[in-house]
């Protein structure tokens, strides 16, 4: 039995969701050729702590940083490092917060400098597939409807859905039930009820769906070395239309990132 969140709990999740949204925007301001992913981590951790929250990724099961910084063929869980971003790269930044006993979690894939047309298409399609998934996350639907909405949108473009990784519920714990795959069959899986808090996060590869775990035991990479994009938002299941708690508006409102 998955217990829906109360409105009081949703209010606390919303505070975290806005904080991670603003954190990603702060990171986005400094994404540029020549900047290290370690610097992106510093910006994020400083902003989170300055706002009275804890970077929940830091130390989680031994993870060594406040953000995941996943460049190009790294799908998720990349370690921030001394790697200097290059023109044409993409970097997925995944951020988590712990504030007032509840969690926030969101991710955005930033283009670095000028990216090629195929990379731009990958970013556009992956982000749009997230919104397709959110549209399907309504009371009375099922988890499979979300995955089907994502999968059926991206595959006609020749892109592939990562099978080994998925979204999740969120609350007092960063990862709660149910799991939210980005592929599936409509009408299958857990029934969605009003008040469920979910993180929907398509991870879409430019090439094949095969992945492997890097030697560090964390980073998941595409087998064919082609790029992968990742976008994540937190929503609450409602009747008729999901309520979106986190947002990309803080990133995109100044026109720096255009899709």
State pLDDT tens for residues 214-228: 999 999 999 999 999
Q: How many domains does the chain have?
A: 1
**What distance in Å separates the CA atoms of residue 24 and residue 248, rounded to the nearest whole number?**
8
| Domain assignment present for 256 | no
Q: Read off the pLDDT band of 1 (50, 70, 90).
A: confident
Enter the pTM of the model: 0.96
| Domain assignment present for 237 | yes
Average pLDDT score over residue span 84-113: 98
What range defines the domain where residue 72 resides?
A: 7-251
| Domain assignment present for 2 | no
| Domain assignment present for 117 | yes
pLDDT (0 to 100) of residue 258: 46
**What distance in Å separates the CA atoms of residue 9 and residue 11, rounded to the nearest whole number?**
5
Residue 243 sits in a domain whose CATH number is 3.90.230.10
Which tokens is 238 given? 């409602």
| Domain assignment present for 259 | no
**Cα dihedral 112→117→122→127 (10° resolution):** 70
């Amino acid at each position: 039995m998955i217990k829906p969140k109360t409105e009081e709990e949703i209010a606390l999740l919303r505070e975290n969701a806005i904080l991670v949204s603003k954190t990603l925007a702060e990171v986005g301001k400094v994404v540029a050729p020549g900047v290290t992913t370690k610097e992106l981590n510093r910006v994020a951790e400083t902003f989170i702590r300055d706002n009275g929250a804890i970077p929940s990724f830091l130390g989680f099961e031994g993870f060594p940083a406040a953000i995941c910084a996943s460049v190009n063929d790294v799908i998720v869980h990349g370690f921030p490092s001394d790697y200097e971003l290059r023109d044409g790269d993409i970097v997925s930044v995944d951020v988590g917060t712990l504030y007032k006993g509840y969690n926030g979690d969101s991710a955005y894939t930033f283009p670095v400098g000028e990216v090629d047309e195929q990379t731009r298409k990958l970013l556009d399609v992956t982000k749009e597939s997230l919104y397709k998934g959110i549209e399907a996350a309504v009371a009375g639907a099922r988890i499979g409807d979300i995955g089907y909405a994502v999968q059926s949108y991206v595959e006609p473009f020749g892109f592939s859905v990562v099978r080994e990784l998925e979204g999740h519920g969120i609350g007092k714990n960063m990862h709660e039930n149910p799991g939210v795959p980005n592929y599936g069959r409509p009408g299958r899986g857990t029934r969605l009820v009003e008040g469920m808090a979910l993180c929907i996060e398509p991870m879409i590869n430019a090439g094949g769906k095969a992945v492997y775990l890097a030697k560090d035991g964390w980073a998941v990479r595409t087998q064919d070395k082609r790029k992968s994009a990742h976008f994540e938002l937190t929503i609450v299941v409602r009747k008729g239309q999901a309520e979106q708690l986190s947002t990309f508006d803080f990133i995109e409102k100044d026109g720096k990132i255009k899709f």
